Structure 1
Amino acid sequence: MSNASTLLGMSTSAVLMTLSTTASADFLSDSKATLGLRNFYFNNDYRDRAGSAGQSKTEEWAQAFMFTYISGYTDGTVGFGLDALGLLGVTLDSGGSRHLGSSMIPNDGDGAVDQWSRLGLTGKVRFAKTEARVGTLTPKLPILLSNDGRLLPQTFNGAMVTSNDIDNLTLTGGRLNQATSRGSSDRTGLAVSGGSRASNDFVFAGADYKIGKDLILQYYAANLEDYYTQQFFGLLHVLPLGDGQSLKTDLRYFDTRAAGANGSTSGRSRGYKIGGYTDDNDGKIDNQTWSAIFTYNLGGHALTAGYQSVSSGSNFAQLNQGSITDKGAGGSSIYLFTDRMLASFNRAGERTWFGQYAYNFAALGVPGLSASMVYLKGDNIQTTGGNNQSEWERDAALDYVIQSGTFKGLGLGLRQGVFHSQADANQDQTRVILSYSLALF
């Protein structure tokens, strides 16, 4: 039996075992299962590293099989359910001299593994408009974003509660203790970029309050034990301008301070520290980052402009897996508009201007086709190697999803990015992604 079939069978068996004891009409009739297919080609060229000790190129090609089962809920005032996520990655092409650096495929010591897999189960409970989930999670919150930028998604382990019982107010809270990288089968503890000691306790809570139909106010607080405490304030507003026009305003502010071991010299010396530049070169987290983003929409056109400022105490910090393992625990997302293909523009002191143009070709009668281009320029970067450094990035994207016929739902994505920096290696990156989702029931 193939590994894809084995993984699918394991996922289905786990679901059926639960059904045998908790089955009900709603549990079954509201359930759905899909098999997602993703074919990913990744090429990253570090041209300025050629001839040095660093690797000059990363090039890999792989295929993903992603089985997702979402159950309904049992009958009664309190409903119970179970979701399952089965993931399998298969390496199609990767050599030892081309593998390191993609964080897409796990490493076996000599190069890329032939295949890797994982199974995640999530129990859930619903009461009125409140839902609690325990097990495998993929949060999409200002204080934590699950990364899905390679072949398989990053997942977390823990518990999370979301409530919509109060009109126009969404309350969220939870606790996480482990993560599995997008390029790994192994769970690890939690850290920040540059941290070498694991924390197993990330707690968070937040609220999204909708005022009228066009304004949302956000507040979130989070604590990664022995690393940081973070507060987030956000404002989202859409101003209708008539005739298919609107202006969207997105304001974000993060205040991140040292907590626990990171707040002491002895704790930082044990590995509870952040990488990159910090005041006194001590690895202490102290950062305030704000950004203002404005998007003008007219028909199929979307023009975005904005500015972001990172304070100079340390780099911007959010949870990832640091350097606590060598088993593929790399790759994370942060809730900044500047978190792009090749860089995040979140270094200490960095000031970034950015602009993006996007077009949806449905306005011209070609639904499913869209394109975008973004340019970012950062300066005033503080690093351990120098001050007032600069960098820029230019990315282009083209996406098309077939709308009808035999191949309806088949998606093609093309990505190309160029990054030049005085603080890091210059890079040219290309990605080609084919995706398809098959409904099983």
Structure 2
Amino acid sequence: MNKSTLALAVAVGVLAQQAGAAGFIEDSKASVSSRTMYFNNDNRDGGADQKETAEGLKFDYLSGFTQGTVGFGIDAQALVGIHLDGGKGHHPYPSSFFPSDSDGSAASEWSRASANVKARFSKTEAHLGGALQPNMPILVANDSRLLPQTFEGGTISSKEIDNVTFNVGQLEHAAGRASSNSTGLAVAGGTEESNQFRYAGADWKVTKDLTLQYYHANLKDYYKQDFLGLVHVWPIGTNQSFKTDLRYFDSSSDGKNGDAGYQFNNNGGFAKTPGEVDNKTWSAMFTYTLGGNAFLLGHQRVNDDGGFVYLNQGSVVNDNRRSEEAGGASFYLFTDSMINGFVRAGENTTFGQYSYDFAALGVPGLKASAAYLYGDNIKAKNGTSPDQSEWERDLRVDYTIQQGVLKGFGTTLRHGTYRGSDTGIASQDQTRLIFNYTYSFL
């Protein structure tokens, strides 16, 4: 039993004695969420295609806090994935969409459950357990498939100072979006587990229109990372604004990084020192909003020394086999798009997006967007071949029913097209059709 699990068990025992306290039950919330997804990945370079449909169910219970100077509570989550249809030969092995059986076919179902204990003192909250879903510049839990990625560890968030939110924590394990089990932490290409991802940072709302951010993170034996961010919204007039979003990451090697098992594959691209983290990435995004219209334009630059780095457990060796089903990750850059990431050494990416909210035309709940990203100057893996380029086009339509028996029922249709020039990434056409519904009964 690891330290986090032992601490969780002790805390649950304490809570069991206080569960009747006012606030713990009265402020509780419980819900069941359903997600049905059709996932179609058409490999245009002749590789195996993927066509699968699955149903995901997520139960969430969020208690209130017990009374007293320090209030205690518990959050619990249970996840179930059910494979509906994949079509013979259309479930790739391995897959980060749905787990695979030993013969390489899709498993019929999978599940996992976890919980967090929590404590609140004044304007500070602490969470400890295995159902954490962080959303910060240095770590974004992935929820782009059937069921969400979750993390195990402890976090503290404090708002004791007006307009400033402090976040600190240590994470030790992650459960992938298509996995029943958790693994230690790593980066793409890293086969050894690290059980220590520490971070600290703050979001300072300088004015109602300006927010500054700083975070530091360290994945032991893999990398250190600093982040600086600025978000400013200029309210030009009624239903009109201009938003500036600036992001800068500085990542470097830590501990055993570069040794056998602790290597970083640099997103399949060039590295000045193979296997080691060495990267600086900046991006600037500008969004003009007018009524239901939003026009976004931006540029991103990855330096020449190596690719952008982020947590990804898909290469970890667990029980003598690779844990590909634990793979799949998100990161805090606009180029984290539907199919590709645009984060290899030397890459310059220009991107744009147009979106429209049909509430402006009297159709609330209906939204549509189209995005295009073009990256070039990508350094070839050998460092001497001609630079490479790639592009992606993403289309999306969302509709959520606003009233009636099916209020809150949402439908999302996404289609992405990716093409690359000698990038080593297969050209793909991908379609996702998703139905979401959440029923709250507390």
Q: Which residue of 1 aligns with 2:304?
A: 312
2 CA distance for matches of 1:137 and 1:21?
23
Report if aligned partners of 1:107, 1:327 keep a CA contact under 8 Å in 2: no
Q: Which residue of 1 aligns with 2:417?
A: 418
Structure 1 residue 212 displacement after superposition: 1.2
Select the residue among 226, 246, 254 that pairs with 2:249. Answer: 254
Structure 1 residue 47 displacement after superposition: 1.6
Q: Report 1:270-309 matches (<5 A).
A: 270-275=261-266, 276-280=268-272, 282-309=274-301
TM-score after normalising by structure 1: 0.92
Select the residue among 205, 211, 231 that pairs with 2:206. Answer: 211
Find out whether 1:430 has 2:431 as its counterpart. yes
2 CA distance for matches of 1:394 and 1:432?
17
1 CA distance for matches of 2:287 and 2:361?
21
2 CA distance for matches of 1:270 and 1:70?
39
2 CA distance for matches of 1:432 and 1:330?
22
TM-aligned CA distance change 1:20 to 1:65, over 3 Å: farther
TM-aligned CA distance change 1:294 to 1:368, over 3 Å: same
2 CA distance for matches of 1:374 and 1:90?
32
Q: Which residue of 2 aligns with 1:10?
A: none
| Counterpart secondary structure, 2:25 | helix
TM-aligned CA distance change 1:434 to 1:387, over 3 Å: same
Select the residue among 12, 26, 41 that pairs with 2:23. Answer: 26
Q: Which residue of 2 aligns with 1:104?
A: 97
Question: Which amino acid in 2 is paired with 1:70?
Answer: L
Q: Which residue of 2 aligns with 1:4?
A: none
Runs of 5+ in structure 1 lacking a partner?
1-13
Report if aligned partners of 2:190, 2:261 keep a CA contact under 8 Å in 1: no
1 CA distance for matches of 2:398 and 2:272?
46
Q: Which residue of 2 aligns with 1:132?
A: 126
Q: Which residue of 2 aligns with 1:62?
A: 54
Structure 1 residue 313 displacement after superposition: 1.1
Select the residue among 347, 363, 370 that pairs with 2:367. Answer: 370
Select the residue among 86, 90, 94 that pairs with 2:82. Answer: 90
Structure 1 residue 279 displacement after superposition: 3.4
Report if aligned partners of 1:58, 1:102 keep a CA contact under 8 Å in 2: no
Structure 1 residue 326 displacement after superposition: 3.0
Q: Which residue of 2 aligns with 1:398?
A: 397
Report if aligned partners of 1:281, 1:384 keep a CA contact under 8 Å in 2: no
Q: How many residues align?
A: 419
2 CA distance for matches of 1:175 and 1:326?
22
1 CA distance for matches of 2:224 and 2:386?
27
| Counterpart secondary structure, 2:259 | helix
What whole-Å deviation, never above 9, does each CA across 1:162-202 have from its counterpart, x for those lacking one?
00010010000000010000011110111111111111110
Report if aligned partners of 2:297, 2:352 keep a CA contact under 8 Å in 1: yes
Report if aligned partners of 1:226, 1:272 keep a CA contact under 8 Å in 2: no
* The structure with more helix, counted as a fraction of residues: 1
Q: Which residue of 2 aligns with 1:5?
A: none
Structure 1 residue 437 displacement after superposition: 0.4
Question: Which amino acid in 2 is paired with 1:129?
Answer: K
Q: Which residue of 2 aligns with 1:230?
A: 225
TM-score after normalising by structure 2: 0.92
Select the residue among 60, 64, 67 that pairs with 1:72. Answer: 64
Question: Which amino acid in 1 is paired with 2:118?
Answer: K
RMSD: 1.7
Question: Which amino acid in 2 is paired with 1:160?
Answer: T
Question: Which amino acid in 2 is paired with 1:274?
Answer: N
Structure 1 residue 98 displacement after superposition: 1.2
Structure 1 residue 407 displacement after superposition: 1.2
Structure 1 residue 24 displacement after superposition: 1.1
Report if aligned partners of 1:277, 1:283 keep a CA contact under 8 Å in 2: no
TM-aligned CA distance change 1:16 to 1:212, over 3 Å: same
Select the residue among 169, 175, 192 that pairs with 1:174. Answer: 169
Question: Which amino acid in 2 is paired with 1:340?
Answer: S
